Structure formats: structure tokens, C-alpha cells
Chains A and B, each alone.
Chain A
């Protein structure tokens, strides 16, 4: 086995999947071949980079005689640019701090923690894969939770410490996730956008619109906008709509000049391209994603859809109090929710209505 880059199988909560960290100082954790109850859901998922614009002007981080940095937006992770840093894998038990090199993981199995939790009276069983990465003074936690409802909760945790020279400067974390859903196999999927128009079902109250072209999309909480990747062929049973997974993203912040959309729908072009490495080359923003999200989608026989999803958080520092010495982990994420993917059976029926189960 190599120190980095191997595929590690894990299972639990109805899921079988593989995790991998291809490089200890690059784009972080990858999830491969995630199957739920015997069906493929995800070919590959990753959170390869973040774009982090700071309020400005910034003071230099080196000697006091340095000029102010010309750029105030960091591109971190895979293909780090603009004074950003790669995601450096830490031992998973590393403290929440700007750590020295003694906490750098020497091998991938020391960087990843896998938890399997049994169901409780309130929650489904879950399989969670977690790793933490140092990125300059910041720390990022990559966490993928797969539960026995078939849901995937993808989260990114932010910790570490504030900017060492500019601790008062607010900033926005734009966190980019590459999601290659293959619903029961690939090449026969469509990309859909949901709109809630109103409550009159005699009119068009709710609508799923199949997109005929690649492109970028914005959230719209006023219409409950969400997205779906749906297979055109695979069904649980006849007369049931085809299997799909919805992409539900909380609207915690807006786009800006560096991060220009919430979702891009594009197509698979290979495992060695369009992974996010070149994003930021032009202007420390996400312009390059527009370049790959162009061209038609096949609405008749389907395409092999790859979605880029952005989760945002505006961080207003609490530099004199809670965040004076370290940043309490703050998690933001999104949800992949199955629709018509499988028939779930209740597992939490208790035998004795008079007495709670041990976990209660």
C-alpha cells in the first residue's frame, strides 16, 4: 500500500464506498463509488478548493517593510493560487489551531476517521468519513455523512485561527464541491431545476424543468429552488418515476465578483481534467467553471452529469472574545436527498410502548 492515493473501502448504514486522498498537500478528501443498498449513487465527490475574498486593504503577512499584497482573494486547495495554500492533511486528532508540522499526517490512514453510528430514536444509522486539513492559519474539515435514509450530508468545517496580521478582516468562504452523481450507473441522467410557483395544483404549482444545456445557476429561496440529477431508465418499480438525487443548498450568502454562481451543471470529460486545479488562473475567481459548463445536454437519452456546488459563509471575526486564540469549528454544507431511489423500511419500531429503548 502507498502512503497516499489508495482507495480504502468502508461500509455501514446501507452504504458501501471508498475514500481516497490522492496527495497529502493538494485538494483534500475524495469519495469514490458510493453505493446505497446495492445501487450506485456517486461516482466521485470532492471539495477540491475554496475561494476566500477578504475585506481589504490587507497588511502584509511577512516583514513590516513589505508592500501590501496586490491580491486579497485566496484560492486554496488543489491548484492553490493568489497566495492561497494547499489543503495539507493533518492527523485526524490534531488540535484545532494553526498547527506546526508535527501534526502533519505521514500516511492517509492517519488522516481519515471513519465512524459508523447505529440508528437512534431520532436519527438514522450513519457512516461518516472525516478528515482535517491545515491551510495556512485556517483549518478545513471535510466531512461526508451517508445515512440509512439514503441521504448524503456534505459538510465543510472551518477552524484554525484568524488571519495573523489582519485578524479584524471579515471574509467569505466560497467552498466548491465537485459532485459526480451516477444514478444507478452513468450516461443516462438529466439535470433538473425545481420551482415552487404557488399552491394551486390546478395550475402549475410545482415544476421540475429539464435543462437542455450546461450552464450555471443561482439559488432562489423565493421559489424553493433546488436541483436534481435523475436517471432516465432506472426505477424502483414500473409506474414509479425514475431514480434521482436532489441537491439542496442552504442560502447562507450571495455571489460576488469572485464566486459567480451556486451550481454549475456540466458533463464528465475525464478523471484527470476539470477537477478544479486551473480555477482561479484568470482572476482568482471561478471564471474557468463557466468555460467547462458550456454545450448541450442530451434530454432524450441522458448525459453523464457533473455538478459543481458552492457553499458560502461570511465570517465576521469575533477577534477579542470567542475567536481570540482559535476558531471554534463552524460547519456549512448541503444535502443530497434521494427521490424514488429505494423503498425504505421502518427500522425504529420499538417493542415496548411503555418503556423507552436504551438509547432513549
Chain B
């Protein structure tokens, strides 16, 4: 055993304990997704979805692209570094799962049960709906009130749950109310009774 220091936060850091596979491929495969690469992949994916002219662009949500590291067909070949982009069509309630390599779509699948994590934009939209609702607006104007988000649905609809909680000295001390927001219809559908 050696006393090598840890190399935390290095994207391709290696020690003498790394396998041959890691030594060969980590530096080129496990590298961060750049902002330009991410934006390009999102554009490519969006174009692929909009190739169907019946799809309305204003009803699409493009989720943040992610690195997709895929095993090769044979063990000595290099793993693939791809970019995975999910696009949800609110009209059809489906998620397009698109894999991009070098600005080319290499895989495009429809997932009827896909439930991508809610994005900051979706939570902001949900908060705006609650702030504009007379049942919740005054409560949310209180700076000690925060929203604790949850997922009320079984996965098919884009329903976002909001638990209005009072925070005292950085910890939640009370549950005030709860609501469910349908992001597809842009409406508060439960709560505030």
C-alpha cells in the first residue's frame, strides 16, 4: 500500500491503483460536459423532435443534457462518451430520449413513462402560479415561508407538488398548506381549501 494523497475534484485523476481501462479511457471519456457541447446537443435534439411538423415547439421542455457513458460491445474497445438529451412533449405526455454524438442523433426513443427530474425553470413556473393565486400569494409573500417540492403523481402527468412550510432559523418548523400544480395546463389543481 502506498500513501498517495487523494486527488479529489480532478476530472481525470488517477492513482497507481487504477485499472488499465481507467488509465486508457478516463481522460477522454469521463470529462466534463462543456457548455457549448451541451447547447449544441440540445439544439440537435430539439431539431430531431421538431422534424415531426405536428409537434408544437411551445409545448416542449428541453431538460439539461447529461453525459452518457456507454459500455462498448467488446471489453477491450473504448467506452462511448455521448450526450443524452430529454425533451418532453406536453401535448402527448411523452418524453423523447435522444442520444447525440458529434452533433448527430444516434438514438431517438419515445418513453411514455419517462419522468425527468423537475428543473429549476419548472419550479419557478410553479411558484409563479402559486404567487398569482389568491389562496397562496399572501402566504408566499412572507419571507419565512418556503416551498418544499414533492411529486404527487404516479409518473405520467407533469404534476408538481408544493408544500408551503415555515422556516425558522434555517429549519422547517411548520407545514402551512400544500398544493398541486399541473405544469402542462399551467393551473393549480389541488390545495388551498
The binding surface of chain A is classed by DSSP as: loop
Assess whether B26 is interfacial by the CB under 8 Å rule.
Answer: yes
A: number of interface residues (CB 8 Å): 80
Q: Is the CB of B71 within 8 A of A268?
A: yes
Find A82's partner among B154, B163, B172 (CB 8 Å cutoff): B154
Assess whether B7 is interfacial by the CB under 8 Å rule.
Answer: yes
- B:36-93 near A, CB below 8 Å: 64, 66-71, 74-75, 84
* Complex alpha-carbon distance, A303 and B40, angstroms: 36
* Complex alpha-carbon distance, A11 and B191, angstroms: 49
Nearest B residue to A84, CB-CB: B151
Assess whether A81 is interfacial by the CB under 8 Å rule.
Answer: yes
Pair count A-B, CB < 8 A:
208
Q: Select the residue from B13, B15, B156, B163 with max chain A CB neighbours within 10 A.
A: B15
* Complex alpha-carbon distance, A15 and B9, angstroms: 16
Find A63's partner among B17, B153, B177 (CB 8 Å cutoff): B177
Q: Is the CB of A38 within 8 A of B146?
A: no
Nearest A residue to B69, CB-CB: A271
Nearest CB of chain B from residue A343's CB, rounded to whole Å: 13
Assess whether A212 is interfacial by the CB under 8 Å rule.
Answer: no
18 intermolecular pairs with C-beta atoms under 8 Å apart: A2-B35, A5-B67, A9-B7, A10-B6, A12-B15, A16-B19, A25-B149, A35-B18, A86-B118, A99-B171, A100-B172, A186-B71, A270-B70, A277-B114, A278-B113, A280-B155, A281-B113, A347-B1
Which residues of B are interface residues toward A (Cβ below 8 A)? 1, 4, 6-22, 26, 30-33, 35, 64, 66-71, 74-75, 84, 97, 99, 111, 113-115, 117-118, 146, 148-156, 161, 163-165, 167, 170-172, 174-175, 177-179, 191-193
Which residues of A are interface residues toward B (Cβ below 8 A)? 1-2, 5-16, 18, 22-23, 25-26, 32-33, 35-40, 43, 60-63, 65-66, 75, 78-86, 95, 97-103, 109, 114, 116, 119, 125, 127, 136-137, 148, 164-165, 184-188, 268, 270-272, 277-278, 280-282, 284, 304, 347
